[in-house]
């Protein structure tokens, strides 16, 4: 009898252990990997809460409007819009130089953000021959009205205010008559010696090929609270980043600003709400995917173009959707 009881207890213990192992090995029991990222959400009480936000768009509870989000089957065959993201453009002789007087970028991560002028021209020529390119405002207006394009579309965007955009990229855009959007980081115009001046930015705006939109005042992590900051203080700080940058561009250029690029790609439902309250109509992330007319306008996907890809890889980036992160091409 004692042996039977012992065997029964042993069987129960084995069963409990098996359940525990299965729980750990299941997707729900594992730590989130590259399929998700951690976002900072501010609760009504003002506390930080860790929000697990999968890469695929899902409705965010605190966001006022409800949108539907495309899955792979729903949009099969639909016309897509891919938003490309550039930062600095320099001739290869500058990009590859080891002389700090010639090339101010030394970190590998910095070099990734620099596309050579030669590669950029190849890419723009390819776009002009194979795709319809539009400004962010054109896509934003169609998205607002749910008016589909009759073909796949590319939106060319730049972040920051580096003078290389005007000196090297802008002439290429003019050569191929390709419209683009510059998301302007306001403080860099005032503080960065290598940034474009407001006079140059006005020239770009007045010529009409490249539109100017907002990339915040100081380029902060919008989804992160500072130590000791209350929820109310956090919202005021973020609102100031959104509103002041918008107002300055509108005042300087005499135009409406409706579109925003999240610094570092960081956002949450609070930031999305504040954007809408501040008069913005859409915002772009740094998550890589295509967009459709069903996409959330305040979480539009954008693909970074890094400096170490060739034209074949660039064309695959546009024609295929299986590459979800260009950093895999890093040297």
Q: At what angle do helices 231-253 and 198-207 cross, to 10 degrees?
A: 70
182 has which bridge partners?
158, 212
Q: Note the pLDDT of residue 170.
A: 98
Q: Which two tokens stand for residue 156?
A: 């060319």
Instruction: Tell me the pairing of strands 36-42 and 48-54.
Output: antiparallel
CA-CA distance, 261 to 158, in Å (whole number)?
10
Nearest to 48 by CA among 274, 283, 233: 233
Query: How far is CA 38 from its chain centroid?
Result: 15
50 has which bridge partners?
40
Q: What are phi and psi of 60, to 5 degrees?
A: -105, 125
Place of tokens 């972040």: 159
Which residues, other chains included, contact 91 with Cβ-Cβ below 8 Å and sequence gap of 6+? 116, 117, 118, 168
pLDDT top residue among 148 and 17: 148
Place of tokens 């934003």: 140
116 has which bridge partners?
90
Say if residue 194's pLDDT is above 50: yes
Nearest to 232 by CA among 276, 274, 268: 274
Instruction: Tell me the pairing of strands 114-116 and 48-54.
Output: unpaired
Percentage of the chain with pLDDT > 70?
69
Residue-wise pLDDT tens digits, 58-99: 233 333 333 333 333 344 555 899 999 999 999 888 787 776
Candidates 1.10.20.140, 3.50.50.60, 3.30.40.10, 3.20.20.370; CATH matching 36-329: 3.20.20.370
Q: What are phi and psi of 10, to 5 degrees?
A: -60, -40
Q: At what angle do helices 231-253 and 269-277 cross, to 10 degrees?
A: 40
DSSP 297: T
Q: Which of 98-102, 120-124, 177-181, 275-279 has the lowest mean pLDDT?
A: 98-102
Q: Which two tokens stand for residue 241?
A: 């980043």
Q: Note the pLDDT of residue 113.
A: 84
Distances (CA, A) of 266 to 37, 51, 168, 193, 263: 10, 13, 29, 26, 6
Residue-wise pLDDT tens digits, 207-239: 999 999 999 999 999 999 999 999 999 999 999
Please give the model's pTM, rounded to 2 decimal places. 0.75
Tell me the Cα Rg of the chain.
23
Supply the mean pLDDT for the chain: 78
Q: Delimit the domains of the chain by residue range.
A: 1-30, 36-329
Q: Note the pLDDT of residue 294.
A: 93
CA-CA distance, 314 to 56, in Å (whole number)?
23
């Amino acid at each position: 009898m004692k042996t039977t009881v012992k065997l029964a207890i042993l069987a129960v213990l084995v069963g409990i252990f098996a359940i525990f192992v299965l729980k750990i090995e299941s997707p729900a029991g594992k730590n989130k990997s590259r399929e998700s990222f951690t976002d900072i959400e501010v609760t009504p009480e003002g506390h930080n809460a860790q929000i697990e936000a999968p890469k695929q768009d899902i409705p965010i509870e605190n966001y006022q409007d409800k949108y539907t989000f495309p899955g792979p089957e729903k949009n099969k065959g639909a016309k897509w819009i891919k938003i490309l993201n550039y930062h600095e453009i320099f001739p290869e002789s500058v990009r590859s130089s080891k002389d700090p007087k010639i090339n101010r970028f030394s970190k590998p991560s910095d070099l990734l953000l620099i596309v050579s002028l030669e590669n950029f021209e190849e890419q723009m020529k390819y776009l002009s021959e194979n795709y319809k390119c539009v400004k962010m405002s054109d896509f934003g207006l169609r998205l607002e009205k749910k008016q589909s394009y009759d073909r796949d579309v590319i939106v060319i965007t730049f972040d920051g205010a580096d003078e290389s955009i005007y000196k090297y990229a802008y002439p290429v855009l003019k050569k191929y008559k390709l419209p683009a959007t510059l998301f302007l980081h306001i403080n860099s115009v005032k503080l960065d010696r290598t940034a474009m001046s407001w006079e140059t930015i006005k020239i770009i705006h007045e010529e009409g090929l490249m539109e100017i939109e907002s990339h915040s005042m100081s380029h902060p992590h919008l989804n992160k609270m500072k130590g000791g900051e209350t929820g109310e203080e956090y919202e005021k700080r973020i609102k100031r980043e959104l509103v002041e940058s918008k107002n300055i561009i509108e005042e300087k250029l005499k135009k409406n600003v409706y579109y925003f690029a999240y610094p570092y790609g960081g956002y949450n439902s609070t930031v999305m709400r504040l954007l809408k309250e501040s008069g913005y109509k859409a915002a772009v992330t740094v998550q890589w995917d295509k967009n459709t007319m069903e996409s959330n306008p305040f979480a539009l996907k954008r693909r970074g173009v890094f400096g170490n890809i060739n034209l074949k890889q660039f064309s695959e980036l546009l024609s295929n959707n299986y590459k979800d992160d260009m950093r895999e091409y890093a040297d």
